[in-house]
Amino acid sequence: MRTSDIYKAKSGKKLLFIQVIFNIVIVVLILIVFEFILQGFGKSDKKSTFEPHPTLYWKLSPNLMNHKYEVDNTSCRVDTNSDGFRNEKVDVKRNERSFRIVCIGDESTFGSGVLQSETFPKILQNNIRKRYHFFITEVINAGVQGYSSYQGVRMLKEYCIKYKPDIVVVYFMHNDFAMGTKEDKARISDNSLAVKIKKILYKSHIFMTIRNYILDKLYKHTARGTEPKGVHRVSTEDFKKNLDEMSRIATENGAKLIFVNPQDEEDIKDKKTYLKYRNIIRSVANKNGYIINLMTSFEKNNIFFLPSSNLPGMIGHKAIADMLFAKIKYKSLMPQKAEGSKAKVKLPPRIDLQPGKQLPVTGEKHSDGKPRPKGKPPEGKKPFGEGGSPPANEQILPPQRPNDVPGKPQGQEDFYF
């Protein structure tokens, strides 16, 4: 081959390479322009209830305010904090008197169809605050519409355990049993590289526009009933693994667990498998924590549910909160003292003072520094029961609350109320 031919071949390859690079640059510039255009059109006060997430698949959008959410003929107003919880802001750092509960679950925990103040986490928080004044009680609602236990494990790891809860309430099953085209573990990748790529793509308006269009088409296709029967979103084996993993995470971080055996569903065809999920909840709860049973409590009583739904309504949420409060109270799950506080000291019996009677004295010298016979006040001073002041070195005790917790050993007074 002549030198001129070799030179022409090299020049041709060089020109082709330059042309390819030029085309790539043009495409990138066009995409950037479209991205800015979509961002400009996408700016509006209306926010979506949910946002995509690389490991949770979806989660509640953060910082929603009075946002209207509608699903399955129900609607409610939603406020979320910076973590996307249907909850007010909670500082990660605990106060020395903090008592925290995290409630993780699906739409029943989230509170579809009821006001934020009517959800069982909020009612439970108010119940505890009324009874145990000593503690700064915070009950965090980390429930998300449509979540399975597979997503619950990741929610607990990524968003909840950092709050160092004293109790974790676990409320899953219905979405685990639900049918899908894929299992959740096949749909949501844990691969670190895939997670990083998703985080970048989810910020792109172009990608999200295409993604949402495809998902909308798939949803309509599924709604026509043309999809195959599919598989349970979480198998019974994985359901047990997920509950065990949540138990491990909570226990290693010093939290106790309460499992909720959910309310029953109607028109269950595969009752044998359905009961397997319930038995798994019972077995894990008996091993790792406590349980409240809504299946028997809510059985055949529509007053607990939203109209034409198996989701708890306002009365149902109140009943769940009352059952959780009773479990916390009677199983002595409240801390006996706050973190960092001094050792608990048993208080002496209450002194019931009546007008005309003297405050008992305990020493030879009293508030005026002068010795005097027991039971007599200083000269010129009225007895305490007749409008006088108590001696400075005497402690006036508040009324003590009776020890009303059944099964508590004698002598274990309930001072924190």
Q: Say how far apart CA 371 and CA 120 lie, in whole Å.
A: 59
Query: What integer pLDDT is reported at residue 168 of this predicted model?
Result: 98
Q: What is the dihedral of CA 263, 265, 270, 275, to 10 degrees?
A: 10
Q: Other C-beta atoms within 10 Å of 56: how many? A: 20
Q: How far is CA 163 from the centre of its chain?
A: 10
50-188+228-330 CATH pick, 3.40.50.1110, 1.10.8.60, 3.40.640.10, 3.40.50.620: 3.40.50.1110
Query: What integer pLDDT is reported at residue 315 of this predicted model?
Result: 95
Q: Which tokens sit at 227? A: 């999809």
pLDDT band at residue 8 under the 50/70/90 scheme: low
Which residues, 6+ apart, have CB-to-CB distance to 341 below 8 Å? 96, 97
Q: Each residue of 115-168: pLDDT tens digit?
A: 999 999 999 999 999 999 899 999 999 999 999 999 999 999 999 999 999 999
Q: Each residue of 355-370: pLDDT tens digit?
A: 444 444 444 444 455 5
Q: Each residue of 47-98: pLDDT tens digit?
A: 789 988 888 989 999 999 999 998 877 889 999 999 999 999 999 999 889 9
Task: State the pairing for strand pair 98-105/136-141.
Answer: parallel
Is-contact 358 351, C-beta < 8 A?
no
Q: Say how far apart CA 74 and CA 115 lie, in whole Å.
A: 11
Residue 405: CA atoms inside 13 Å, Cβ hemisphere, count?
Answer: 22
Which residue from 91, 45, 86, 43 is spatially nearest to 62, judged by alpha carbons?
86
Q: Is the pLDDT of residue 351 over 50?
A: no
Q: Each residue of 34-43: pLDDT tens digit?
A: 656 656 665 5
Q: Is the pLDDT of residue 230 over 60?
A: yes
pLDDT band at residue 211 under the 50/70/90 scheme: low
pLDDT band at residue 33 under the 50/70/90 scheme: low
Q: Which tokens sit at 267? A: 């028109």
Between 157 and 30, the more confident residue is 157
Q: Each residue of 43-58: pLDDT tens digit?
A: 545 678 998 888 898 9
Q: Is the pLDDT of residue 257 over 90?
A: yes
Of the chain, the percentage scoring pLDDT greater than 90 comes to 47
pLDDT band at residue 228 under the 50/70/90 scheme: very low
Q: Which tokens sit at 17? A: 């390479």
Please name the residue ranges forming H helices in 202-340: 205-223, 236-252, 271-288, 294-297, 314-330
The torsion region of residue 398 among left (phi > 0), alpha (psi -120 to 50) and beta comes to: beta
Burial class (CB in 10 A: 0-12, 13-18, 19+), 375: exposed
DSSP 59: E
Q: Please compute the mean of the pLDDT values over residues 367-379 and round it to a whole number.
A: 52
- What per-residue string of b and e applies to 139-163 under the rule 16 or more CB within 10 Å gives b? bbbbbbbbbbbbbbbbbbeebbbeb
Enter the pTM of the model: 0.70
- 3-class SS of residue 35: helix
pLDDT band at residue 208 under the 50/70/90 scheme: low
Q: Is the pLDDT of residue 172 over 90?
A: yes
Task: State the pairing for strand pair 74-78/179-180.
Answer: unpaired
Which residues, 6+ apart, have CB-to-CB distance to 24 below 8 Å? none
Query: What integer pLDDT is reported at residue 205 of this predicted model?
Result: 65
- Residue in the structure block whose two tokens are 């909670």: 90
Q: Say how far apart CA 376 and CA 357 lie, in whole Å.
A: 10
Query: What integer pLDDT is reported at residue 52 of this predicted model?
Result: 87
Q: Which tokens sit at 87? A: 């909850």
CA angle 4, 6, 9 (to 5 degrees): 110
Q: Say how far apart CA 181 and CA 332 lie, in whole Å.
A: 44
Least confident interval from 189-193, 254-258, 330-334, 405-409:
405-409
Query: What integer pLDDT is reported at residue 3 of this predicted model?
Result: 59
Q: What is the dihedral of CA 198, 203, 208, 210, to 10 degrees?
A: -80
Q: Say how far apart CA 236 and CA 188 lie, in whole Å.
A: 18
Query: What integer pLDDT is reported at residue 180 of this predicted model?
Result: 86
Query: What integer pLDDT is reported at residue 54 of this predicted model?
Result: 87
Query: What integer pLDDT is reported at residue 378 of this predicted model?
Result: 53
Q: What is the amino acid identity at position 51?
A: E
Query: What integer pLDDT is reported at residue 86 of this predicted model?
Result: 96
Between 382 and 102, the more confident residue is 102
Q: Is the pLDDT of residue 216 over 80?
A: no
Q: Other C-beta atoms within 10 Å of 377: how many? A: 20
Between 242 and 298, the more confident residue is 242
CA angle 121, 122, 123 (to 5 degrees): 95
Give the distance between the most distant pair of CA atoms in the chain. Answer: 130
Between 325 and 307, the more confident residue is 325
Which residue from 54, 295, 38 is spatially nearest to 171, judged by alpha carbons?
295
Highest mean pLDDT: which range of 136-145, 183-192, 257-266, 337-346: 136-145
Q: Please compute the mean of the pLDDT values over residues 340-354 and round it to a whole number.
A: 44
From residue 293, alpha-carbon distances to 36, 186, 255, 258, 279 in Å are: 52, 31, 21, 11, 12
Task: State the pairing for strand pair 290-293/256-261.
Answer: parallel
Query: What integer pLDDT is reported at residue 400 of this predicted model?
Result: 38
Is-contact 45 195, C-beta < 8 A?
no
Is-contact 82 47, C-beta < 8 A?
no
Query: What integer pLDDT is reported at residue 213 of this predicted model?
Result: 63
Between 338 and 194, the more confident residue is 194
